[in-house]
């Protein structure tokens, strides 16, 4: 029996337990950095399979890192997400991401009991807000890893994820308070300056390049209608097709804000209100291997639809640090969307179970390829540098 045949056998052997865990996470959703039940359940399964587990990595109580093997290269990591959305539960299907990664880990562990390299399993909290992977990267959790693998349930069957770079930016205008009738000439209206910024960005939006986007809200705009606001604050979500495009748009917003401040007599502060996420860098060698393996389960992955972008994720930062994959596999039809109650239901459906198990097999098979085929890992790194 080949190692890939043993992988299939092991996924089937663990299928019911994986689905039990998936439904448990789905029934008891936990928000970013609060995923104590999910983390404990996943760690328990890995510990029972004799993985060595480090708890609370990157100073995050619900993060973990486990490994099977010698600790020597090659080192491949399976990434598990398990946080939920406020009010919507697992409407992004992270319960399936967690158990597909867990299933792949168990399959490789039992299919390769004498593994010479290293299989890592990294628990990554707070993808939906907080950027657990970004924090883990900064803390060195990914140091020494040569490839990172995960999948994401969706409404498309795509070989890779066209996820954009994202960041939130805060803008605060300072003016001078005054009574609008008592001493109107002494006032400097900070809110009017902020409103002008919205107008300038509306004009800018019409000529933004593909994949770039800016959307803002007013978070503070004064305290009373008979006082000229001396302080006004907004927050802007900025996306770019690439991290460089995102940063260029941040620079344009900053330039607009300072120009408006000079024109209105206000002063302005502009600052990053979040760490942001980088764009996803596809790795053709690894995503191609995953697509080939999941095709054995009757799922054909194609290229993303041009011009369709599905948000941002902290996997972008990982993919700009080392070869990584983040394919989409549909658990609902293309006329639907994630982050909806309907998608949450799909994440606990028979179709969701079937996709989770198919993804677990494909992730395990891809991990086996990385661990046993130096040529694939070499191509993965060549693709990584070429994409950069």
Clarify whether residues 146 and 287 are in a common domain: yes
356 is in which domain, residue-wise? 3-163+278-387
- Rounded to whole angstroms, the Cα distance separating 56 from 282 reads 29
In whole angstroms, what is the distance from residue 213 CA to residue 219 CA? 19
In terms of domains, do 240 and 204 share one? yes
Q: Based on the fold, state whether residues 368 and 295 are members of the same structural domain.
A: yes
Q: What pLDDT, on a 0 to 100 scale, did the predictor assign at position 161?
A: 87
Q: In order along the chain (388 residues), what is the average pLDDT of each group of 10 residues? A: 95 98 98 98 98 98 97 97 97 98 98 96 95 97 98 97 94 94 87 97 89 95 94 97 95 97 98 94 97 98 89 96 98 93 98 98 98 97 92
Do 85 and 112 fall within a single domain?
A: yes
Integer-rounded Cα Rg, in Å, for the chain is 24
Contacts of 343 (CB under 8 A, 6+ apart): 91, 92, 93, 155, 331, 332, 336, 337
d(CA 297, CA 209): 38
| CATH classification at residue 117 | 3.40.630.10
- Last residue of one domain, picked from the residues 256, 272, 288: 272
210 vs 184: CA distance, rounded Å: 44
The verdict on 217 and 361 lying in the same domain is no
The sign of the CA dihedral 293, 296, 302, 304 is negative
Final residue of a structural domain among 272, 301, 321: 272
Together in a domain, 294 and 371? yes
Domain boundary among 272, 294, 315: 272
Please indicate, yes or no, whether residues 124 and 68 belong to a single structural domain of this protein: yes
Cis-peptide into 74, omega within 30 deg: yes
Does 304 lie in the same domain as 265?
Answer: no
The number of CA neighbours under 13 Å toward the Cβ of 215 is: 4
Q: Which residues of 259-284 are buried (b: 16+ CB within 10 A; e: fewer)?
A: ebbeebebebebeeebebbbbbbbbb
pLDDT of residue 169: 98
Same domain for 263 and 149: no
CATH assignment at residue 193: 3.30.70.360
pLDDT given at position 187: 93
Token pair of 182, please?
A: 């008592």
Q: Do residues 62 and 77 touch, judged by C-beta distance below 8 A?
A: no
In the prediction, which pLDDT does 316 show? Answer: 97
On whether both 69 and 112 belong to a single domain, the answer is yes
Question: How many domains is the chain partitioned into structurally?
Answer: 2
100 and 116 share a domain? yes
pTM for the whole structure: 0.93
- φ, ψ for residue 265 (rounded to 5)? 80, 10
101 and 184 part of one domain = no
How big is the CA angle at 214 (ends 209 and 215), to the nearest 5 degrees? 150
């Amino acid at each position: 029996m080949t190692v890939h045949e043993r992988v299939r056998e092991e996924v089937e052997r663990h299928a019911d337990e994986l689905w039990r865990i998936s439904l448990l996470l789905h029934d008891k959703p936990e928000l970013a950095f609060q995923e104590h039940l999910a983390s404990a359940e996943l760690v328990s399964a890995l510990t029972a399979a004799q993985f060595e587990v480090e708890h609370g990595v990157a100073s995050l109580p619900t993060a973990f890192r486990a490994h099977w093997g010698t600790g020597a290269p090659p080192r491949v990591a399976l990434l598990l997400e398990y946080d939920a959305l406020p009010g919507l539960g697992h409407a992004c299907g992270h319960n399936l991401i967690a158990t597909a990664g867990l299933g792949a880990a168990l399959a490789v562990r039992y299919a390769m009991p004498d593994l010479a390299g290293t299989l890592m399993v990294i628990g990554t909290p707070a993808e939906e807000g907080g950027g657990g992977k970004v924090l883990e990267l900064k803390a060195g959790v990914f140091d020494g890893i040569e490839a990172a693998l995960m999948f994401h349930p969706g409404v498309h069957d795509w070989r890779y994820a066209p996820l954009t770079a994202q960041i939130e930016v805060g803008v605060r205008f300072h003016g001078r308070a005054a009574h609008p009738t008592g001493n109107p000439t002494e006032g400097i209206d900070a809110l009017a300056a902020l409103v002008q910024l919205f107008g300038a960005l509306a004009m800018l939006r019409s000529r933004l390049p593909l994949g770039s986007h800016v959307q803002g809200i007013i978070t503070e705009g004064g305290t009373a209608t008979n006082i000229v606001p001396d302080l006004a604050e907004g927050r802007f979500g900025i996306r770019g097709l690439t991290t460089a495009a995102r940063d260029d748009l941040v620079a344009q917003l900053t330039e607009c804000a300072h120009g408006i401040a000079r024109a209105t007599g206000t002063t302005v502060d502009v600052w990053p209100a979040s760490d942001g996420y980088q764009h996803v860098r596809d790795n053709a060698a690894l995503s191609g291997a995953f697509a080939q393996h999941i095709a054995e389960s009757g799922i054909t992955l194609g290229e993303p639809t041009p011009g369709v972008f599905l948000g941002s994720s902290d996997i972008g930062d990982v993919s700009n640090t080392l070869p990584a994959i983040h394919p989409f596999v549909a658990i609902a039809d293309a006329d639907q969307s994630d982050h909806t109650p309907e998608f949450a239901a799909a994440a606990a459906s028979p179709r969701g179970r079937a996709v989770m198990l198919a993804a677990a097999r494909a992730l395990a098979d891809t991990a086996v390829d990385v661990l046993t085929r130096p040529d694939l890992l070499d191509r993965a790194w060549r693709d990584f540098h070429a994409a950069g």
